[in-house]
Structure 1
């Protein structure tokens, strides 16, 4: 399953933003915790110095403190502020510890050590232990981390709210940037649709540098294709024109007196030259109908169909045919103009050839189907002979001039567009009826 490039880029940037904000959230929390502990340590260093200064030097070597010099908070039970003093023999604890004790690590004189411990009532404690030389005592001061952690949590919550707002803002800006960045590609897509509909002949070259080379190569390839198709069209018309003069000379030779003595040869020669003349007329008629329109133009039924009908009325003017047209008044069909002209021209030509006085043409286009129905009031075709009609060169009546190629050519065109030809008898006019069904798609 393929996804859009915009979605993939957007998803990648979104994941990147989320990752960055999670990392920043973790770094912010770690930094706040570090700063909080450093602030506590500074305060604990101060308290440790105060406790050291409040020590009394008793003559019996007992540890004692001048309580008035110690902050009152150390006297409240489980206040979250604790101290413990030892000289290796005696131990003195703050009243706030109650019956609890602090871990006293073994440290060298003049050294200090900080660590974490769970204290009274499962309080998380930050502990600072210092070994003094004179007097030779170890003072351990502890302070509960809960208030600091609570403040950090509040700060992180506020940061999370601000970060979430900034994240949503950045995502919105990212979406806007992506949409703006992909606008040139959407313009190219619109131009491709215009190109398909025959409303332009190439893509604009005013595009971002990243796709400029692609657009240039596409335009170059399109130009080569147009030139080749136009050259083929012109060459076909030129060949037909070039053969007209030699063919006229051959037709004149067929009426020479020298051939009167060979009536069979003269008749065959006249018949074959007449057939060649019809083939050339068909090619020239097709070139005339195609004109000099754009190679990749789409079929404009409102403009092309009246011109086709006028052309066939002139070709079959001796029959004085009434040709009715029922087609969308303003509909550009998303199908190649050349193919549609060839298909429509062959079907109308066949109908005019066999019609007595009346030809009816109906066209509808409802995505994804184009229906073209051509009916006449001629003799029609027997049911058992209908299956033979698509065969190339089939002629069911030799009295009507032609080569039987029109319907087979129409069959090929219809099959190229994923459709089919249906043959039958016209319920309205009583003659032959052919319905061409073609598949097409409209650009989104």
Structure 2
């Protein structure tokens, strides 16, 4: 499991938290507002029945028999008021309505009907409960409409208080959930991080197997990886032993042939030299670990300095200028013996072929390692390049130097799933470019 995948899972969890909490907050707030409306309607209905119970109607006026109504009906600007209309004429209003600037709605309601709705007047919102009734007097019946009015501020005030309390609770819950998610994320991904750390230690050669204790889900992966490592190591050892045994077995009879009189014949000597070179090649391959699945990270710069120091002494007479461009953090994911074999062959060929200048450049791009070795020698003709890396080609064919050990280099590069190309160098000679994942 890569770190990016872990991070995506954490971000998804945080996104769900940030989505669900506001959605829950909005839903609860709307539910509370709906409940407030229902409660307000019920309260206004109770006030209307209280007004009806105290209502006194005579032929010339309408009045309330006593002051049994809620105190808010007698206090100005209380936000609660009442009106009584007869055939769209205002016949009574509470003291609290005098400065309110509200006009009762002129609805034609049927007797017994009541209506609760919002009314917008003078850019102010009012909630009005209207009840239509037929008031029976001693000798006549009079139609009346009772309107109980509440300002929107009386409805919003408790909602604001509830919203502030709810916000504090949700903030606390959100912080708690976020902390819990971080702890759960750390706790659940800790085994994966330990497994990833151990795999990296196996890759760089710090340890040979996975040794940590893991949950049941990861224990199977650990065991499978250890089986793969054991199988790979056994296969590599068998390969190296068999190849070494074969090369050593051939070395003795070839040595005997070299001491015989027949070895002085040019044709036989040429073939014996070729067989000897092939045996040395296979012995080097047997000692190589280029087929390892788990590769170490080898610093390239120290290996280059060792090779350049040795080649400068060998080719002292040519006074070669070897230019190196290699970052200190450049690494080769493989075995140091293989790296020395690759660089040694290519640098030795370049020193043999050059006039005075050899250039080595190393850089990493998009997690891919690129090595370039070039010289100012005569180069390699186009018609010969396709045969240069073929197995079985005489190693001394190209007197300029290119060709010696290149089959070894080609096989080593291939074993690391890399690529090796040859083209013309701006210096005038050949340029070998190697690329590794």
Corresponding residue number in structure 1 for 2:281: 282
- In structure 2, do the counterparts of structure 1 residues 27 and 119 end up closer, same or farther at CA, with 3 Å as the change threshold? closer
Do residues 365 (structure 1) and 359 (structure 2) align?
Answer: no
How far 1:388 sits from its partner (Å)? 4.0
How far 1:297 sits from its partner (Å)? 1.5
Q: Is the 8 A contact 1:254 1:269 kept in 2?
A: no
How far 1:337 sits from its partner (Å)? 0.9
How far 1:150 sits from its partner (Å)? 1.9
Corresponding residue number in structure 2 for 1:243: 246
How far 1:161 sits from its partner (Å)? 5.0
Q: Is the 8 A contact 1:10 1:174 kept in 2?
A: no
**What secondary structure is seen at the aligned counterpart in 2 of 1:4?**
helix
Corresponding residue number in structure 2 for 1:435: 432
Name stretches of at least 5 consecutive residues in structure 1 with no aligned partner: 57-61, 108-112
TM-score for the superposition, normalised by structure 2 = 0.65
Residues 333-386 of structure 1 show CA distances to partners (whole Å, capped at 9, x for unaligned) of 1x4214x75354134135547866999784533444645455789x86554566
Q: Is the 8 A contact 1:124 1:145 kept in 2?
A: yes
Corresponding residue number in structure 2 for 1:387: 385
Corresponding residue number in structure 2 for 1:46: 50
Residues 303-352 of structure 1 show CA distances to partners (whole Å, capped at 9, x for unaligned) of 65577789xx6xx9xx956697957585351x4214x7535413413554
Q: Is the 8 A contact 1:389 1:407 kept in 2?
A: no
Give the paired residue count. Answer: 397
How far 1:247 sits from its partner (Å)? 1.4
Corresponding residue number in structure 2 for 1:154: 157
**What secondary structure is seen at the aligned counterpart in 1 of 2:54?**
helix
Q: Is the 8 A contact 1:229 1:295 kept in 2?
A: no
Corresponding residue number in structure 2 for 1:96: 93
> What is the rounded CA distance, in whole Å, between the counterparts of 2:415 and 2:435 in structure 1?
9
> What is the rounded CA distance, in whole Å, between the counterparts of 2:119 and 2:408 in structure 1?
102
Corresponding residue number in structure 2 for 1:300: 299
Do residues 82 (structure 1) and 86 (structure 2) align?
Answer: no
> What is the rounded CA distance, in whole Å, between the counterparts of 1:411 and 1:153 in structure 2?
77
Among 346, 349, 352, the residue aligned to 2:345: 349
**What secondary structure is seen at the aligned counterpart in 1 of 2:110?**
coil
Corresponding residue number in structure 2 for 1:105: 110
Name stretches of at least 5 consecutive residues in structure 2 with no aligned partner: 95-102
- In structure 2, do the counterparts of structure 1 residues 144 and 264 end up closer, same or farther at CA, with 3 Å as the change threshold? same
- In structure 2, do the counterparts of structure 1 residues 391 and 133 end up closer, same or farther at CA, with 3 Å as the change threshold? same
> What is the rounded CA distance, in whole Å, between the counterparts of 1:399 and 1:31 in structure 2?
96
- In structure 2, do the counterparts of structure 1 residues 419 and 29 end up closer, same or farther at CA, with 3 Å as the change threshold? farther
> What is the rounded CA distance, in whole Å, between the counterparts of 2:315 and 2:12 in structure 1?
62
**What secondary structure is seen at the aligned counterpart in 1 of 2:93?**
helix
Corresponding residue number in structure 2 for 1:331: 329
> What is the rounded CA distance, in whole Å, between the counterparts of 1:292 and 1:409 in structure 2?
10
**What secondary structure is seen at the aligned counterpart in 1 of 2:250?**
helix
> What is the rounded CA distance, in whole Å, between the counterparts of 1:131 and 1:95 in structure 2?
16
**What secondary structure is seen at the aligned counterpart in 2 of 1:146?**
strand
Name the Cα RMSD after superposition.
5.5
- In structure 2, do the counterparts of structure 1 residues 422 and 228 end up closer, same or farther at CA, with 3 Å as the change threshold? farther
How far 1:392 sits from its partner (Å)? 0.9
